[in-house]
Structure 1
């Protein structure tokens, strides 16, 4: 346990804000060195568009362990959210999402007699949409028997057996400017058109599918008919068919105000992790937890996406949320219950031993 806590402190003290590529590169070097200590060999450094990812591969790939070392916390956060360990609770930027998961991963693999069949991929841009790593993840996962995602657990330590897929859009309205007092009739009001489109976009959501207009921009001055306006749209879906339906509906939007034109940008970002892709692995995890005399495992379906969406999207059975037990991801109260770390580590080790 002491070594796990020391490793966790070392990772948390190395800030790794996703948008600071130099910080991500420094973090990658630290993670690589820690992995080399535990696994006996260093990783491949895969730098894509300036973002540093790490991959260890042993023998013929069968099982993928997937994590990330970037965080949402801006550089300097340690000054206001310092590392601490008080009454068995560890705190600090990224401690829960997901540096404790990386520590558990290294210790789980270090306890295996052989690493044959294991691939470990640690990416550097998960928190910003995995823009440079998504294809790497897909290529690495395709054809494998299982992917174990070391993201933090859901409430109470629940494993994440389903995640909604995500799509992001920008609805851009192009209108025509005119003086709002002298000749407004000569304009084509992009703001009014945007209002029509916001209502139309919101109406696309149904049931578990959420289609949410978010960031709004438009206009230039208070006395000018706006020539341009836009809205960002966040989409969350539980099934691939719904993601396709929403995409078709977004692209079928048409202008209402004469003289305006629409431009629809974006599309699906992550496919959903459907429950069918995790069912067998979750059942196995429950059996192994009983053998290890751990508390009975529970499961959760969550709205947030992870890189496990990509592995499931290429047909690789995927079990998510195997990382830290705690709470407060992306929030001031982010924390990890360190007493849970050895049990989660043992569970991951048992899963890898059984599946590979």
Structure 2
């Protein structure tokens, strides 16, 4: 690919047709049957637009859809085809285009980005060196996909992530590291009315811990530590033998991972005032931070591409959420994120994509690839 590579003008109607087809196949994480069905539909769209069928790589989390153009690998287009929406959402909220917006489960995060990527590659007269990889488990941590996506990212040397844009179409030049700790407090059950003193109340012990956990954040370093979910007990008249607390963690500085892991370990070792309660710490920080320096080489090229596509200047911002770009950036591979759809409402019923931005964003991606 080179800057003088001809680029065809993407057309909105076929992009919307492919988007309707892809959104019309529900693909919640962990549903292997649904993810297989979605991967097959996605493979059909890729074959129809790019001329060859992608490989479906089986994983315990579902199929990875992996397409390669001929030639030495130069750039990996990365995304995911799983969504957060359960089966049945489509019946209540089918794909639609109205009032300038496309709606439907997963349309913004990130099925529009997938379709835009396919049509951007199709717009290139010479897509040599381009790879497309769409994983089935990004929404749940990418455990099954991580090894392959990291290997192909290293082979390609550049990664363009088709996650949705930030507000106003901004590209994502940095991301926080993301993780979830689970604090499991083990106690002992007993009858809450007849002999509560014979039990060990794990819920009371957990309540002591939650206040301490909430102090582990560091605003000066933009580290957030937020207890988000708790479950305890089996019945209202039973002293709870087990309580589980889930804690969302976001970091910018890599050193914060070690500090927080140490703080959680010390918390478990210190214990609580509830005699007999024991504490177990599970989980941790799954996605390392994506430092802005990872995008430093690619962002100026994307700015040029946006201008060539008629979009004008685009901004670059750091965001709190994670993506598979966190993994590739942490390996030192140039990575630029947020190249997908413009819209809003990710993970929510009001999720939408601004239709007027679809063709320019597709053209921008093609222009960007042509410059790499």
Matched, 1:217 2:231: yes
Q: Indicate the residue corresponding to 2:247 in structure 1.
A: 233
Q: Flag structure 2 segments of 5+ consecutive residues without an equivalent.
A: 1-11
Matched, 1:111 2:127: no
Shift of 1:325: 0.9
Supply the distance in 2 between the matched residues of 1:202 and 1:124 (Cα, whole angstroms).
32
Q: Indicate the residue corresponding to 1:40 in structure 2.
A: 51
Q: Indicate the residue corresponding to 1:297 in structure 2.
A: 314
Q: Indicate the residue corresponding to 2:348 in structure 1.
A: 331
Q: Indicate the residue corresponding to 1:84 in structure 2.
A: 96
TM score, norm. by length of structure 1: 0.93
> What SS does structure 2 have at the residue aligned with 1:51?
coil
Shift of 1:159: 0.8
Shift of 1:182: 6.1
Spell out, residue by residue over 1:138-184, the C-alpha distance to the aligned partner (whole angstroms, 9 max, x if none): 22212543110001111111111111111111111122345556665
Matched, 1:173 2:185: yes
Mapped contact 1:167–1:243 kept (Cα < 8 A): no
TM score, norm. by length of structure 2: 0.90
Q: Indicate the residue corresponding to 1:267 in structure 2.
A: 284
Q: Indicate the residue corresponding to 2:331 in structure 1.
A: 314
Shift of 1:224: 4.6
Shift of 1:191: 2.3
Q: Indicate the residue corresponding to 1:245 in structure 2.
A: 259
Supply the distance in 2 between the matched residues of 1:142 and 1:245 (Cα, whole angstroms).
29
> What SS does structure 1 have at the residue aligned with 2:113?
helix
Matched, 1:342 2:354: no
> What SS does structure 1 have at the residue aligned with 2:41?
helix
Residue 331 and residue 178 in structure 1: after superposition, are their counterparts in 2 closer, same or farther (change >3 A)? Answer: closer
Q: In the TM superposition, what are the counterparts of 1:280-291 in structure 2 within 5 Å?
A: 280-291=297-308
The partner residue of 2:35 within 8, 13, 24 is: 24
> What SS does structure 2 have at the residue aligned with 1:82?
coil
Mapped contact 1:153–1:323 kept (Cα < 8 A): yes
Shift of 1:244: 2.4
How many residue pairs end up in the alignment? 355
> What SS does structure 2 have at the residue aligned with 1:242?
helix
